[in-house]
Amino acid sequence: MGWYEDDDLWVGFAEVMFPPRRAAEAERLVATSPLLEVAPGDRVLDLACGPATHIVPLARRGAVVTGVDLSEAMLARARVACTAAEVEARLVRADMREHVERAAYDLVINMYTSFGYFTDPGENLAVLRNAHASLVPGGRLLVDVMGKEVFAGWVGRPQAVDVGGGTVFMRDTVLDDWTRLRSDWTWVRGDEVRRTSLYSTLYSAAELRALFEEVGFTDVECFGDFDCSPYDNHARRLIVRGTRA
């Protein structure tokens, strides 16, 4: 089983990854970011949607949203969030390495470092290929990750974050000549200790851009934040956008 298939991770650490402030932040981004701008009726696919963090604000703006996630537990949370927000969305349990709906979407998004999970580079490429095939001509893919250059600015500094009456200690280790990252999280709450490790591929902007181009995206652009600022020394994220010709 791949680490990303473990529901104990996504559910067990949900309070850390998906606190209420992230839903509020997604609401703000969808309202203000030119990268997430949608018109009523636009068809949007959220690949690895988690608990509907971005589905809810996109659907509120009139987009027709499909969320895909491998975790049934995350989809259950997504259903609850959509019901609570009184929005409709189609939620599908599928693996992003396999999920394709030919020419069905105007926008495909993959948010919050949900890309690069697979050790085999061909499997990560398959995700981009599927997204490309799922877009209409002129449609766009947006991938939001922690870029290698951004990460290099703070790697090696362990973090301690207070969450849910406990503290999560996070420590990152760079693997395989800066191609992969392991994040070890230990959550200490009273007598309870919970541990997990997350793995992801570390992409530089040039590397991720090259993958977009390899699967056929055109007009590929890299941004350093959702306000479309450049991917430079001030970047906070690596956001890559490409268009299906």
Ligand X SMILES: C[S@@+](CC[C@H](N)C(=O)[O-])C[C@H]1O[C@@H](n2cnc3c(N)ncnc32)[C@H](O)[C@@H]1O
Binding residues vs ligand X (CB under 6 A): 4, 10, 17-18, 48-50, 53-54, 68-71, 74, 95-97, 111-114, 117
Q: Please say which residue, 53 or 134, places its beta carbon nearer to ligand X.
A: 53
Given the DSSP bridges, would you call strands 238-244 and 135-145 parallel, antiparallel or unpaired?
antiparallel
| Torsion (CA) 47, 233, 227, 44 in degrees, nearest 10 | -10
Given the DSSP bridges, would you call strands 135-145 and 64-69 parallel, antiparallel or unpaired?
unpaired
Closest by CA to 151, choosing from 185, 175, 120, is 175
Q: Please say which residue, 87 or 232, places its beta carbon nearer to ligand X.
A: 87
Largest distance between two CA atoms of the chain: 55
Q: Please say which residue, 54 or 148, places its beta carbon nearer to ligand X.
A: 54
- Minimum Å distance from CB 145 to ligand X? 10
Encoding tokens for residue 31?
A: 């309202």
- Dist CA 94 CA 71 (whole Å): 8
Is 47 within 8 Å of 124 (Cβ atoms)? no
- Minimum Å distance from CB 190 to ligand X? 26
Does an H or E element contain 139, and which?
Answer: strand 135-145
Closest by CA to 130, choosing from 14, 244, 7, 31, is 244
Q: Please say which residue, 8 or 219, places its beta carbon nearer to ligand X.
A: 8
- Dist CA 119 CA 11 (whole Å): 23
Q: How many residues would you count in the chain?
A: 245
- Minimum Å distance from CB 137 to ligand X? 25
Name the residue number minimizing CB distance to ligand X: 50
- Minimum Å distance from CB 164 to ligand X? 17
- Minimum Å distance from CB 57 to ligand X? 11
Is 106 within 8 Å of 78 (Cβ atoms)? no
Q: Please say which residue, 113 or 196, places its beta carbon nearer to ligand X.
A: 113
- Minimum Å distance from CB 27 to ligand X? 12
Q: Please say which residue, 31 or 245, places its beta carbon nearer to ligand X.
A: 31
